[in-house]
Each structure stands twice: as C-alpha cells, then as structure tokens.
C-alpha cells in the first residue's frame, strides 16, 4: 500500500494568516497516461464526517472557498489556506486514489 505522511501533525495560525499542510506519498501518485495526480484533500470538523475539498491534487469541489488551494505533483503535495478563518479549524487529511485508497494521519489546524 502507498503510505501517506502529512506534516506537521498540528499547527496554530492567526486569523487571516496562511496555513500550509504538506503531504508526501511513498510512491508517485501521478498517472503518466493522463498526467493527473490521484490525490484528494478532506476537511473534518469536530464531530462531523470528512468533507471532500479537493481532488486531482488541485481541483476544488463546488462550494469550497477559493482560500483553499492544492498544489504539488508526484509524491509531494500541499494544501494551503490563504487566509485562515475561524470556521477552518479542523483536521485535514490527504488521500491517494492511485491504488487502494490510503489516507495521511491528519493535520490539526487551530487558531493561534
């Protein structure tokens, strides 16, 4: 199985500041035939199920604020929240779907 490793495990960011979460896969999740990265990001708020934010490493889901952006390719990916809002407090997970799905361990985002 592909192992997904996120960093940091947690971070505290001031309101309006940038939050950056990293995700590294143990092997490339870039499909050469279509040049797509099989990588998704989810947000999980306390007591709620995960919510799909981004697929294909950088494609935001409908309704997701544009302060959320995804980038990266191959084995290294980043989720950026450009201006942290109070409602963004959550745990964020990356997931690869290049093969049997696996998730990162999660990154907890809090307000400083």
Nearer of residues 8 and 101 to other proteins, judged by Cβ: 101
- Encode 63-99: b = buried (16+ Cβ within 10 Å), e = exposed: ebeeebbbebeebebbbebeebeeebbbbbbbbbebe
Please tell me the distance from the alpha carbon of residue 7 to that of residue 25, in angstroms, as a whole number. Answer: 12
Listed in sequence order, the residues at least 6 apart from 46 whose beta carbon sits closer than 8 Å to its beta carbon are 90
Structure tokens at 72: 């990266």
User: With CB under 8 A as the contact rule, which of the stretches 14-22, 63-71, 81-89, 101-109 interacts with other proteins?
Assistant: 101-109
Does position 70 interact with other proteins (CB under 8 A)? The reply is no
Nearer of residues 46 and 86 to other proteins, judged by Cβ: 46
Does position 43 interact with other proteins (CB under 8 A)? The reply is no
Does position 32 interact with other proteins (CB under 8 A)? The reply is no
Binders of other proteins among residues 76 to 95 (CB under 8 A) are 93, 95
Q: Which residues bind other proteins (CB under 8 A)?
A: 38, 40, 42, 48-52, 55, 61, 93, 95, 97-106
């Amino acid at each position: 199985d592909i192992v997904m490793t996120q960093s940091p495990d947690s971070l505290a960011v001031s309101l309006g500041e940038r939050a950056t979460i990293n995700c590294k896969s143990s092997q490339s999740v870039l499909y050469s035939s279509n040049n797509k990265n099989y990588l998704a990001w989810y947000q999980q708020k306390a007591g709620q199920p995960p919510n799909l934010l981004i697929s294909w490493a950088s494609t935001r889901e409908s309704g997701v604020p544009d302060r959320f952006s995804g980038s990266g390719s191959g084995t290294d990916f980043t989720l950026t929240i450009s201006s942290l809002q109070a409602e963004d407090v959550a745990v964020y997970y990356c997931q690869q779907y290049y093969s049997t799905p696996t998730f990162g361990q999660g990154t907890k985002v809090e307000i400083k």
